[in-house]
Structure 1
Amino acid sequence: MLSRLRATAAISTALLIAAGASACTSASPSAEAGGAESGGTTTLRVTSLSLCNELSLYALDKGIFSKHGIDVKLVNVQSGSAGIAALQGGSTDVAFVSPQALLTAIQEGVDMKIISDGGETTKDSQGIIVNNSSGIAGPADLQGKTIAVNDLGGTIVTLIEAWIQAATGQKSTAKFVALGFADIEPAVENGKVDAGAVTAASVQKITASGKGKSIGNPTFEQVGATPNALYAVTSSWLSKNPKAAEKFVAAMQEAADAAKQPANNTEKFAILSKYCKTPAETLTQVAEIAYSGYIDMKAFDNAVQQFKKAGVLKPEFDAAAAVPEFARAK
């Protein structure tokens, strides 16, 4: 229940600050008139967190979106909840959001559809990092500690709380603070927070520095493979732009297939390095997510069932109804 309240509060706050999302290039509103359905190019404004495993960034620079008749303009946001706010406020067309923030918003009445995956979690694709001098060795030691996360309404808060409870047999007493992904690893290293939820790139960075380590991946350890993040649109946009949505997910799947090929690693890491500000040579040592464009409904349901178990989603909530048939992996 606590996680549900956090998620709802974070989304409500984000809806009030939609104007805070800033485009990194100028972009005109997306429309099918003269766009993809008429044989031309459709402009799509897509939110980005500039992560080292963000598939849409690879698809953009590799020219895969262009190949599918899509001109992507990135909109920089600080969290998935801010992406939802940008979507509702009309400053973006497609939002990149964590599964929990997205599904909670839909359950609370925000009318959205999920049109693409970005990839599924793996054992080493995420981690909870701590300072080597913290004395924290596992989830039980996180009781009463302060943990930095990117989004208070995101998936990871619920999973960390469940991880702690499973290890201690008691309700989690951890406290959570929101920081940008780029700020979490330095905050852990400098002792400003006790722990932080990060991607594999930050795990590798703090481990290589000799100042910190990962104590595990609560997502994969408890649930197995789940969507790392999802791409959503408003239902009204989808009804007006069905072919653009189908082309978007087809481009994402083509990018996922290319991203899995070792022969493309040099180019892929160079592209992602530009956005996430991590050296390409460092990315070669970082565990990646299992890239995908079409949504693996089994992995999707893994996340949904965990959220229902935690009380974040109501038992009767039909999450699958938010995923159109064209967006599902066959």
Structure 2
Amino acid sequence: MKEFFMKTYFSRRQVLSYSAAAIASTGFNAQAQSPTKIIFGFTAVTDFASIFVGCEEGFFKKRGLDVEPKFIPLNPSIPAAIQSDSLHIGGPTASVYLQAIDGGLDHVVVAGGGMTDKSLTGVGLVARAGSGIRTAQDCIGKKIGVPGFGAYLHVTFRAWLKINKVDPAKVNFVETSFPQHADLIRGGSIDAVVTGDPFMGRILSSGAGYVASYYTTFLPDGMPTILYTARRDWATKNAASVKAFQEGVIEAANFIKKPANNTKVREHIGKYIKLPPEILNTMQISPPGPVIVEKQLTYWVDMMNDQKMLKASPTVANLLFK
């Protein structure tokens, strides 16, 4: 009887022990397999297509990432949001990023969004109907809206003015977010905007403005318009997640490049930047450039040095997270 009791006692203890271990193991695996949260900051342009596609097609999720796109109205505010940890990764333009580095922030480039392409006509100087603006010279003394001081469109437009012998200091620039462009042109409070689709298309279709110049055609092809960046300390601490993010962006870029996926890509873009079907079907999408190399960043450093926008030239190789 005593022998039976002892066998039963130890048998029950073993069952309880195994059960506890199983529960602990299950809990640990569930915790280990829970996706890593990444809050990503974007502005309302198609250059972020690889993020939208990566989220909607599950390219991030299957790599254990929960990427949450967060709309940011003005591009120059993205580095500050990354620095404060409101964003883990964000998409500043190359010029905004380089100014943030110049200002002392230690951020690194982990991937890239859209790239320049001379065949695209989705970006330009859109003038108010009746303003008479047709050339760079016509911009002198005029009030021109740009979606962020120091951002891509502002810096490239300044470069275009200089190429055409116009001092950018003679133009009155006003910082205005993309969604405001149509109303500001229609209301007459500004003379022109440097803008892009889908907002450019809305202005043109309403008759409130016209394209004075597709000025970005002076840019070489293959230069990044948007960089995906993070704080260096965060990227180093979360290196495995950054690598998974990079892989997801590359897979999304390959998806975008396939013509058969065109309809899906446009639907995914429309979901995040709230576009109606009639605009979605006609807009141009920047080619994706998921991998950034030194030559591409050096191009922007040189342009910004020419405009005296940097106090010192950064060591470009140190800016790329590897």
Interval containing the TM-score (normalised by the shorter chain): 0.7 to 0.9
Residues 229-238 or 308-317, more deviating: 308-317
- The structure-2 alpha-carbon separation of the partners of 1:169 and 1:53, relative to structure 1 and needing over 3 Å to count, comes to closer
Question: What are the ranges of 5 or more consecutive residues in structure 2 without an aligned counterpart?
Answer: 1-27
Distance in 1 (CA, whole Å) between partners of 2:87 and 2:68 is: 9
Corresponding residue of 1:168: 165
AA partner of residue 224 (structure 2)? P
Corresponding residue of 2:129: 132
Is the radius of gyration larger for structure 1 or structure 2?
2
Scaled by the length of structure 1, the TM-score of the pair is 0.81
Distance in 2 (CA, whole Å) between partners of 1:308 and 1:165 is: 13
Shift of 1:222: 4.3
Shift of 1:39: 5.6
User: Is contact 1:80–1:154 with CA below 8 Å preserved after alignment?
Assistant: yes
Quick one: which of 44, 51, 66 aligns to 1:50? Answer: 44
1:267-324 deviations in whole A, cap 9, x for unaligned? 1111211222222332221122111211154333322221122111346422332012
Q: Does 1:228 align with 2:225?
A: yes
Q: Does 1:178 align with 2:175?
A: yes
Quick one: which of 109, 112, 117 aligns to 1:114? Answer: 109
1:3-33 deviations in whole A, cap 9, x for unaligned? xxxxxxxxxxxxxxxxxxxxxxxxxxxxxxx
- The structure-2 alpha-carbon separation of the partners of 1:102 and 1:316, relative to structure 1 and needing over 3 Å to count, comes to closer
AA partner of residue 113 (structure 2)? G
AA partner of residue 250 (structure 2)? Q
Corresponding residue of 1:201: 198
**TM alignment of 1:149-160, pairs within 5 A:** 149-160=146-157
Quick one: which of 92, 98, 102 aligns to 2:87? Answer: 92
User: Is contact 1:130–1:213 with CA below 8 Å preserved after alignment?
Assistant: yes
Please state whether the residue corresponding to 2:130 is helix, strand or coil: coil
Please state whether the residue corresponding to 1:148 is helix, strand or coil: strand
Residues 170-179 or 267-276, more deviating: 170-179
User: Is contact 1:46–1:73 with CA below 8 Å preserved after alignment?
Assistant: yes
1:10-69 deviations in whole A, cap 9, x for unaligned? xxxxxxxxxxxxxxxxxxxxxxxx89xx66521111112233442212221222211222
Question: What are the ranges of 5 or more consecutive residues in structure 1 without an aligned counterpart?
Answer: 1-33, 326-330
Distance in 2 (CA, whole Å) between partners of 1:71 and 1:187 is: 37
Corresponding residue of 2:8: none
1:137-170 deviations in whole A, cap 9, x for unaligned? 1222111111111211313222222222322354
Distance in 1 (CA, whole Å) between partners of 2:219 and 2:239 is: 36
- The structure-2 alpha-carbon separation of the partners of 1:287 and 1:173, relative to structure 1 and needing over 3 Å to count, comes to same
User: Is contact 1:181–1:198 with CA below 8 Å preserved after alignment?
Assistant: yes
Distance in 2 (CA, whole Å) between partners of 1:193 and 1:138 is: 17
Corresponding residue of 1:211: 208
Q: How many residues align?
A: 291
User: Is contact 1:41–1:70 with CA below 8 Å preserved after alignment?
Assistant: yes
Quick one: which of 32, 41, 63 aligns to 1:68? Answer: 63
1:199-252 deviations in whole A, cap 9, x for unaligned? 232222222333322223444424554211111111110110111111111111
AA partner of residue 150 (structure 2)? G
AA partner of residue 307 (structure 1)? M
User: Is contact 1:147–1:197 with CA below 8 Å preserved after alignment?
Assistant: yes
- The structure-2 alpha-carbon separation of the partners of 1:191 and 1:259, relative to structure 1 and needing over 3 Å to count, comes to same
Shift of 1:99: 0.9
